[in-house]
């Protein structure tokens, strides 16, 4: 009886080797991401710029360095204009919203004080005092009043702290932006030489698989991002038009915030509409509250009606698998895990379509990569 099976041992070693490589790649990406992410962004920008740079080289007879610099400056100017236009409007209206909150807090506090001093409340207070100790009642009332006042102060202070943290974030953001821009320039300028070196080092069979995976992954990731941005933009536009129709204040800023919130899967517009409608009914503004509740299903129907069309034209993800990966990512990594789950599903789907899993299985079983 033969106990030692050389073929099985070789398969086990190859499987362990593949598992080690996968674990090393995941660990390197996980722990090294805070260091390498500026250069990943720089590579992505260089990749996006490359067609424009080639156009300037061929049609405009630009030297490679000048073409890269021109393309980079063009992107910086466009992004800066977009940020300037939106942030100026948002910051302006946000300051008004904070002032409005302060005024509302003052009105609510005055209303509470007037109510506590009213005859109806004094009568209620006397009735309660016959059952409970008056000192306990007075202590509870003062505690409730102080709690409401401190809550209002805390909310306003939190908003100011949030705005302050944004301004303090600018130096770090500026430093990282400079690193990304310089890295983008260097990568894009040396794009052809880097591609030639990789071509000479990586074998043709592996290079063709990598190119297929990169091409499909690019299509899937950019397709998903494009579809998600399109849907969120449509949502923000419908939200904006609806707010204008019902006469809601600060429609532009709130619609922009709604579009940004809508970018977060699972959360969406209801995170804004539901508490806002409840507040409107509490304030006695039934028209605004009813309008918001009518606007909510309109936005949802519009989004869900367009969702299959937009996503089917961008990427082909299985809805059930997408839901599973969304839930798993949310449970494992929190809100950021939603995007991680989507990207993981896109990557696995792309690898499967490119035949990478077939090649890995063939390598484990035979020691050779499957031929096309």
Identify whether 28 is part of a domain: no
49 and 171 co-located in one domain: yes
Identify whether 25 is part of a domain: no
220 and 93 co-located in one domain: no
144 and 257 co-located in one domain: no
105 and 173 co-located in one domain: yes
The per-residue pLDDT for 20 is 92
Q: Which of the listed residues 201, 218, 244 is the one where a domain comes to its end? A: 201
Q: Which of the listed residues 136, 169, 201 is the one where a domain comes to its end? A: 201
214 and 170 co-located in one domain: no
Q: Which of the listed residues 181, 201, 221 is the one where a domain comes to its end? A: 201
246 and 97 co-located in one domain: no
The per-residue pLDDT for 1 is 46
197 and 211 co-located in one domain: no
Identify whether 24 is part of a domain: no
Identify whether 4 is part of a domain: no
239 and 369 co-located in one domain: yes
Identify whether 31 is part of a domain: no
79 and 165 co-located in one domain: yes
164 and 63 co-located in one domain: yes
Confirm whether pTM is higher than 0.85.
no
178 and 277 co-located in one domain: no
47 and 158 co-located in one domain: yes
Which residues in the chain land under pLDDT 50?
Answer: 1, 135
Task: Give pLDDT tens digits for 158-193.
Answer: 656 655 665 666 677 778 888 888 888 888 888 888
Quote the domain boundaries for residue 356: 204-372
Identify whether 354 is part of a domain: yes
Residue 319 CA to residue 316 CA, distance in Å, equals 9
Domain count, the chain: 2
Identify whether 30 is part of a domain: no
Identify whether 364 is part of a domain: yes
């Amino acid at each position: 009886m033969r106990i030692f099976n050389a073929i099985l041992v070789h398969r086990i070693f190859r499987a362990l080797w593949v598992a080690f490589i996968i674990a090393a790649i995941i660990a390197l990406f996980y722990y090294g991401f805070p260091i390498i992410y500026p250069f990943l962004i720089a590579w992505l920008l260089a990749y996006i710029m490359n067609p424009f740079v080639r156009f300037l080289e061929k049609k405009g007879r630009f030297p490679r360095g000048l073409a890269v610099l021109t393309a980079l400056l063009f992107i910086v100017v466009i992004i800066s204009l977009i940020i300037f236009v939106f942030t100026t409007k948002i910051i302006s209206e946000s300051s008004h919203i904070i002032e409005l909150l302060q005024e509302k807090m003052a009105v609510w506090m005055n209303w509470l004080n007037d109510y506590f001093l009213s005859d109806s409340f004094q009568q209620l207070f006397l009735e309660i005092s016959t059952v409970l100790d008056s000192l306990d009642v007075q202590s509870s009332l003062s505690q409730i009043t102080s709690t409401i006042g401190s809550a209002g102060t805390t909310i306003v202070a939190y908003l100011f702290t949030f705005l302050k943290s944004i301004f303090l974030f600018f130096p770090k953001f500026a430093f990282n932006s400079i690193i990304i821009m310089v890295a983008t320039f260097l990568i894009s300028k040396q794009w052809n030489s880097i591609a030639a070196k990789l071509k000479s080092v990586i074998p043709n069979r592996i290079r063709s698989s990598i190119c297929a995976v990169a091409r499909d992954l690019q299509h899937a990731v950019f397709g998903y991002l494009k579809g998600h941005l399109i849907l969120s933009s449509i949502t923000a536009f419908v939200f904006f038009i609806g707010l204008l129709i019902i006469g809601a204040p600060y429609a532009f800023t709130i619609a922009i915030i709604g579009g940004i919130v809508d970018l977060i899967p699972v959360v969406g517009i209801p995170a804004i509409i539901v508490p806002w409608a409840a507040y409107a009914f509490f304030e006695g503004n039934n028209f605004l509250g009813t309008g918001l509740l009518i606007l909510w299903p309109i936005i949802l129907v519009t989004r869900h009606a367009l969702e299959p069309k937009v996503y089917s034209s961008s990427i082909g993800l299985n809805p059930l698998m997408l839901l599973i990966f969304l839930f798993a990512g949310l449970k494992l990594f929190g809100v950021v895990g939603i995007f991680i789950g989507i990207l993981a599903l896109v990557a696995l789907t792309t690898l499967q379509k490119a035949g990478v899993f077939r090649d890995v299985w063939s390598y484990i079983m035979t020691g050779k990569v499957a031929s096309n």
